[in-house]
């Protein structure tokens, strides 16, 4: 699938936070899906509210953890960061320091899964992949971020 680079640049998202190539992965089984809960589509903009009050926080929906999952991957247009957002309790967790690096992680993991011929992403989430991805985006491996949890739960 292709992401709307020009529209995002017009919204003020830094070019450095975005992949140069418009083609981005549309899914990695068990890790990332563009099949979203009813009423949402990829690249929708959502406004966060808490206790019925709209906050001045908007996110761009990038996908979900699993098909139809309520745990969403979102882009913060103000910072360019990718976050995991749980709308049920308005909780966020860091995923990647930019959409560029999020897409790079998905590409590398997807290529590793394909190369191993495995049907499961677990085969690609090994110590070598963790080292490689950490070299790409060290912030993605901070203690409270999403990727350490992924490798801890799914990694080999």
Task: Place 70 in a pLDDT band, splitting at 50, 70 and 90.
Answer: confident
Strand bridging mode 72-75 / 27-28: unpaired
Whole-angstrom Cα distance, residue 36 to residue 45?
A: 13
Residue 155 has pLDDT above 90, yes or no: no
Q: What is the mean pLDDT of residues 29-43?
A: 92
pTM for this entry = 0.92
Angle of helix 99-116 relative to helix 127-136, nearest 10 degrees? 160
pLDDT of residue 17: 95
Residue 50 has pLDDT above 70, yes or no: no
The CA-atom distances, in angstroms, between 49 and each of 37, 53, 78, 88, 94 are 18, 5, 17, 11, 19
- DSSP 8-state class, residue 65: S
Q: What is the mean pLDDT of residues 72-96?
A: 91
Domain carrying residue 69: 5-154
Whole-angstrom Cα distance, residue 102 to residue 63?
A: 12
Number of domains in the chain: 1
Higher pLDDT, 115 or 89: 115
pLDDT of residue 42: 95
Q: What is the mean pLDDT of residues 5-26?
A: 94
Residue 111 has pLDDT above 90, yes or no: yes
pLDDT of residue 55: 60
pLDDT of residue 134: 96
């Amino acid at each position: 699938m292709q992401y709307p680079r020009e529209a995002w640049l017009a919204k003020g998202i830094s070019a450095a936070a975005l992949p140069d190539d418009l083609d981005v992965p549309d899914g990695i089984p068990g890790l990332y899906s563009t099949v979203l809960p009813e009423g949402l589509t990829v690249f929708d903009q959502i406004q966060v509210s808490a206790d019925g009050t709209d906050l001045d926080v908007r996110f761009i929906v990038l996908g979900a953890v699993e098909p139809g999952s309520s745990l969403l991957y979102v882009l913060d247009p103000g910072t360019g960061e990718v976050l995991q957002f749980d709308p049920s309790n308005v909780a966020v967790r860091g995923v990647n320091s930019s959409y560029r690096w999020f897409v790079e992680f998905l590409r590398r993991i997807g290529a590793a899964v394909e190369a191993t011929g495995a049907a499961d992403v677990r085969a690609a989430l090994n110590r070598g992949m963790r080292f490689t991805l950490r070299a790409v985006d060290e912030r993605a491996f901070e203690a409270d971020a999403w990727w350490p949890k992924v490798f801890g739960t799914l990694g080999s």
